[in-house]
Structure 1
Amino acid sequence: MKPAPFDYVQPASLSEAISVLAAHGDAGKILAGGQSLVPAMNFRLARPSILIDINRLPDLSYVRPDGDRLSIGALTRHAAFHRPVVDGPLGLLLSRVVRHIAHYPIRQRGTFGGSLAHADPASEWCLVAATLGADLVVTSVRGERVIGSRDFFRGTFSTALATDELLTEIRLPALSRDWRVGFYEFSRRAGDFALGMALAALRIDNGIIKDARLGIGGVADRAIRLGQLEGRLIGGPASPDVIDAIAREARESITPTGDIHASPEYRRDLIATAVRRALVEAVA
Structure 2
Amino acid sequence: MQVPAQFEYERATSVGHALELLAKYGPEGRVIAGGHSLIPMMKLRLARPEALIDINELSELSRIEVVGGELRIGALVRHAELLESAEAGRLFPILHDAERVVADPIVRNRGTVGGSLCQADPSEDLSAAFTAVRAEAVVEGVDGTRVVPVREFFTGPYETAVGPGELLVQLRLPIRDGTGSAYAKVGRRAGDWAIAAVGASLRVDGGVVVEAGLGLTAVGASHFVAVEAEDFLHGGPATPERFEEAGAIAAAHCSPAADQRGPADYKRHLVAQLTTRALHRAHDRRAG
What's the TM-score once normalised by structure 2's chain length? 0.92
| Residues in 1 aligned to 2:114 and 2:222: alpha-carbon distance in whole angstroms | 16
| Post-superposition CA distance 1:218-260 (Å, at most 9, x none) | 1117652223322211232222221221111111112222322
Q: Is the 8 A contact 2:102 2:191 kept in 1?
A: yes
Q: Is the 8 A contact 2:93 2:182 kept in 1?
A: no
Task: Tell me which residue corresponds to 1:125.
Answer: 126
Q: Does residue 46 of structure 2 align to residue 74 of structure 1?
A: no
What is the DSSP-based 3-state SS (H/G/I as helix, E as strand, rest coil) of the residue aligned with 1:267? helix
Task: Tell me which residue corresponds to 1:14.
Answer: 15
| Post-superposition CA distance 1:163-205 (Å, at most 9, x none) | 21111111111232x2122220010100000111111111223
What is the DSSP-based 3-state SS (H/G/I as helix, E as strand, rest coil) of the residue aligned with 2:246? helix
Q: Is the 8 A contact 1:93 1:183 kept in 2?
A: yes
Shift of 1:47: 0.7
Matches within 5 A, 1:198-277: 198-220=198-220, 223-277=223-277
Residues 230 and 57 from structure 1, CA distance in 2 versus in 1: closer, same or farther, beyond 3 angstroms?
Answer: same
Letter in 2 for 1:164: G
Letter in 1 for 2:176: L
Structure 2 spans left out of the alignment, 5+ residues: none
Matches within 5 A, 1:46-195: 46-86=47-87, 90-176=91-177, 178-195=178-195
Letter in 1 for 2:282: A
- Structure 1 runs, 4 residues or longer, greater than 6 Å off: none
Letter in 2 for 1:272: A
Shift of 1:108: 0.6
What's the TM-score once normalised by structure 1's chain length? 0.94
RMSD of the alignment, in Å?
1.7
Shift of 1:265: 2.0
What is the DSSP-based 3-state SS (H/G/I as helix, E as strand, rest coil) of the residue aligned with 1:34? coil
| Residues in 1 aligned to 2:163 and 2:16: alpha-carbon distance in whole angstroms | 16
| Post-superposition CA distance 1:126-180 (Å, at most 9, x none) | 112222222111112222222222221011110111121111111111232x212
Which deviates further from its counterpart, 9-18 or 90-99? 90-99
Residues 17 and 4 from structure 1, CA distance in 2 versus in 1: closer, same or farther, beyond 3 angstroms?
Answer: same
Shift of 1:84: 4.0
| Post-superposition CA distance 1:79-138 (Å, at most 9, x none) | 112234426753322122210110011101000111111111111111122222221111
Letter in 2 for 1:64: E
Task: Tell me which residue corresponds to 1:45.
Answer: 46
Which deviates further from its counterpart, 42-51 or 144-153? 144-153
Task: Tell me which residue corresponds to 1:279.
Answer: 279
| Residues in 1 aligned to 2:88 and 2:44: alpha-carbon distance in whole angstroms | 42
Which deviates further from its counterpart, 195-204 or 77-86? 77-86
Residues 222 and 232 from structure 1, CA distance in 2 versus in 1: closer, same or farther, beyond 3 angstroms?
Answer: closer
Shift of 1:210: 2.8
Residues 79 and 5 from structure 1, CA distance in 2 versus in 1: closer, same or farther, beyond 3 angstroms?
Answer: same
Q: Is the 8 A contact 1:180 1:202 kept in 2?
A: yes
Structure 1 spans left out of the alignment, 5+ residues: none
Aligned residues between the structures: 283
| Residues in 2 aligned to 1:87 and 1:254: alpha-carbon distance in whole angstroms | 29
Give the % identical residues.
Answer: 38
What is the DSSP-based 3-state SS (H/G/I as helix, E as strand, rest coil) of the residue aligned with 1:195? strand
